[in-house]
Chain A
């Protein structure tokens, strides 16, 4: 057995691994604005006037920035909880920006982070690393180029192909329009059945609530829109702790730079729901338009809409609400 042949094999492995790491990081992740990691990269490098929308898959599938009439960007991450939102908020709040922030909250205090592959390219950022450590998702190999994407190479490639070919979805300003999602009565009924049987209600993680309130208090220059997006009526069967839920919303509303917009019980037809938590495209468009109107209404009342508008043309309403815009400017192109 020649030692030299083993060394050559090892060197080749390291070289190919490093090259693959570089290619995936720069092309399949950074240059893929529709992938989750690509959107996170966008957040880290965006320093303009985009209003970020943070939350879970409810944000990802329900918020259509192009329909909201404001310059916003969807950072919703499938399977994530406030733990992720908190890390993203820290990244956003470290910027010298004054535009509002939209946070979609669930009544339940959850702790999932979704797919770790979203965060692997950014583990050198202490905020991301802390979040991964807190959820026991930090793995030593995330620091080793080449090896860090083990188990996810195909995922990044799939997202990249999807972005370029728009096979399964088209993503615009972070919002994912799933091409093959259609209304399925049987699946929705199944989901409703499960939802009704499960525990429904306000089950907060008080520590998470405190962290959010602390962010709001520490950044009076940012207006926080805390939004509860539409959910199917099945979610409110036997809803527990309603008084506590109302009390929390009232507590948030009492903060001078926080506005609670509760769309949860909006009476949408079943045909607009994919399941009890997520809207299909038609529902998402309607909700986004309504939310956009509400946000602009609040900002107008506070005199911030004009102020921000005068600062940046990006803040002009656009898309569906363009008719109401002072200038009728279109949304900036982008995905």
Chain B
């Protein structure tokens, strides 16, 4: 069930109504039943698998919380961690390998469609959530207090299971335990976020996706139209804006849906495209994943490497971001994407002292603009790997970018879609700025007025056909 679909909002409406009408005793059962139904739509077999996995994690968390410091506790921790990771790796990578081996190009026969299994919905986010919960309990950062039902709801909570934000048990479970009751403010804030999310998905993301798709298309996918530097650069910038609009729209709908039920999920973005370094960007982009990587991968790696200095951190950064890249998919472009992030952050770390000395001698405004340009350039270029279907595809885009021929015709600049669509594509970014400013000014633009304006903009300028949310595929 896609979060931008009418079916989802009908479902959300029914759940919110039942949740609001029934007493506190029934709130967790209603949300749990709704979450299980939401998950079952994607496949009952996977629901059973996840129920078993969730129960095992609950057992492990309970055991870890109760046990004293002994060898058995460590074994339970390692055992459940291995199981969670094994399930993730099996579905995310091994099935891909089997699929590849059975593909027509491998051995000359066609794979049975039955064997072409899709990864379960939200497998990554579910696993990250479980690992965080188990690790926090093992580290005694969080003491399990919830029963099986609330733990189950924490694991399956429908707004966030598809693509996050990745909740921490210590923050979500207490809200569930308190029998969340939405206030009028919750309703207004939730509705505002959902409207903003839908605007970003339909007006911004879907439009920019069309342009970027055209620029990134390989000759095998479309007619080879030989784009020059300017349209390719525009396509690369639109690619980043498309990705941000798409993912943040999903997150806004997820957070807004939870807010309608009186539950506050952690934010996932903090205006990342204003960042002045890649390090800062990753503190503001996909925050729940960044913080997860920091707490459960980077920090343990630094400790393991045993070098608390700069080079230990650099090694840990490179490994963390290589894994982060491959998490998106077992492809070379994703690995390159991760490595570029790790490399940029490592260079920023290593040059910090030198930069600080230099910066003091320069005007603040110039430093801010230069730093922003640097961060955005690196991010836009690295995202070429993120979107590219192969290294050859990425090389094709980079080749066009650094060909240094501005553009041959207006048609090329418009990605062969005509001036009208191009003006609307660029205009959608302008609208996004305006709506974003309105979104934050809750007192000057009350929620009903905001909903009216954004609703009309979405209806008149929205575009269909953008497909599912990009991050729902991870």
Contacts and interface: CB of A to CB of B under 8 A. Distances in A.
B421 A1 contact: no
Contacts of A6: 448
Contact of A16 (B224, B421, B456): B456
A263 interface: no
B461 interface: yes
Interface in A2-37: 5-6, 8-9, 12-13, 16-17, 20
Interface string B430-474: 000000000000000011110110011011111111000000000
Contact of A1 (B188, B452, B458, B464): B188
Interface in B33-92: none
A152 to B, nearest CB: 8
Interface residues of A, number: 29
Given A5-B448, A151-B202, A154-B424, A190 B462 contact: no
A13 B446 CA distance: 15
B467 to A, nearest CB: 13
B185 interface: yes
Nearest to B418: A168
B184 A158 contact: no
Nearest to A16: B456
B418 A151 contact: no
Nearest to B420: A158
A161 B424 CA distance: 14
A168 B185 CA distance: 50
Interface in B83-110: none
A174 interface: no
A143 interface: no
Nearest to A275: B223
A9 B223 contact: no
B210 to A, nearest CB: 12
Interface in A134-161: 140-141, 146-147, 150-154, 158, 161
B6 A141 contact: yes
B187 interface: yes
Interface string B274-316: 0000000000000000000000000000000000000000000
A151 B452 contact: no
20 contacts: A1-B185, A1-B187, A1-B188, A1-B447, A5-B449, A9-B449, A13-B452, A13-B455, A16-B456, A20-B460, A141-B6, A151-B464, A154-B424, A154-B461, A154-B463, A161-B420, A186-B224, A186-B226, A190-B223, A190-B224
Interface of B: 6, 184-185, 187-188, 202, 219, 223-224, 226, 411, 418-421, 424, 446-449, 451-452, 455-456, 458-465
Given A13-B452, A186-B226, 13 more contacts: A1-B184, A1-B187, A5-B446, A9-B452, A16-B456, A20-B459, A150-B459, A150-B464, A154-B461, A158-B420, A167-B419, A186-B224, A190-B219
